[in-house]
Amino acid sequence: MTESLRAAESHRVPRTSHSDRTGLRRTVAALAFLSLALGVLAAGCKPSPEEKEANREEIAAFLKDYLPKMAEAYRTGDTEPLAGYAAQKEREAIKKRVRDLAKQGQILSPKLDSLQVENVTTWSRVNAYVTTVEVWDLRVLAAGSNTVLRQELNQSNRVKYQLKRDGGRWRIFWRQLEKAYDNN
């Protein structure tokens, strides 16, 4: 045999037996079934319109409960009351902001005036992105006194949240101020 024939022989695809082809068909069929089952399962993870509305109401109530507690944490520097509401990372971010203000001899004293939930997007029943418009009265006080150093009353903020359901309850994974508007 010549070199080129030997090379061609070495690249030839081996014949498969009937049992090999049957096994391959079964594998392909099992993969197709698994893919279909995962698609049905994923579609089942989408909340129904009723669930979406219930989630929206539950999240709005959760935020109405959380935000005054967050404001108190800014006033006092104590984030422990937020433990049932916010993930450790979010509580640490609040602590850092409080410490940064304290280094400047200042305390933030926010008061929530109103909350409007603009959008709630949930997936897999345990995750949600939420956009709110929150109206706050913000006062920066001199530490150790009630002297107002500066204030922004009636400030509208568009805020984005990521929430995760943990133990049947929503928790804030992160909160980010997207835009602040001065309503005065």
Q: What is the pLDDT of residues 16-55, one digit of tens each?
A: 555 565 666 666 555 555 555 444 444 456 668 888 888 8
Full domain range(s) for residue 122: 46-182
> Is the same domain home to 29 and 65?
no
Please determine, for residue 180, whether its predicted confidence score (pLDDT) is greater than 70.
yes
Based on the domain organization, do 132 and 148 belong to the same domain?
A: yes
pLDDT of 13 strictly over 80:
no
pLDDT in tens, 78-103: 999 999 999 999 999 999 999 999 99
Mean pLDDT of the residues in the chain: 84
Under the banding of pLDDT at 50, 70 and 90, the label for residue 3 is low
β-strand pairing of 106-123 with 148-166 = unpaired
Question: pLDDT confidence of 5, banded at 50, 70, 90?
Answer: very low
Task: Find, among 95, 104, 93, 89, the residue nearest to 140 by Cα.
Answer: 104
Residues 119 and 29 in one domain: no
Q: What is the CATH classification number for the domain harbouring 158?
A: 3.10.450.240
Verify that 39 and 99 share a domain, yes or no.
no
Name, in order, each residue with C-beta under 8 angstroms of 56's C-beta and a sequence gap of 6 or more.
Answer: 117, 120
Q: What is the pLDDT of residue 25?
A: 65
Q: How confident is the model at residue 90, as a pLDDT?
A: 95
Contacts of 110 (CB under 8 A, 6+ apart): 71, 74, 75, 136, 137, 138, 139
Co-location of 11 and 36 in the same domain: yes
Number of domains in the chain: 2
What are the phi and psi torsion angles at 78 (to 5°)?
Answer: -100, 110
Do 37 and 54 share a structural domain?
A: no
The predicted-structure confidence for 61-83, as pLDDT tens digits, reads as follows 999 999 999 999 999 999 999 99
Identify whether residues 141 and 162 lie together within a single domain: yes
Average pLDDT over residues 56-64: 96
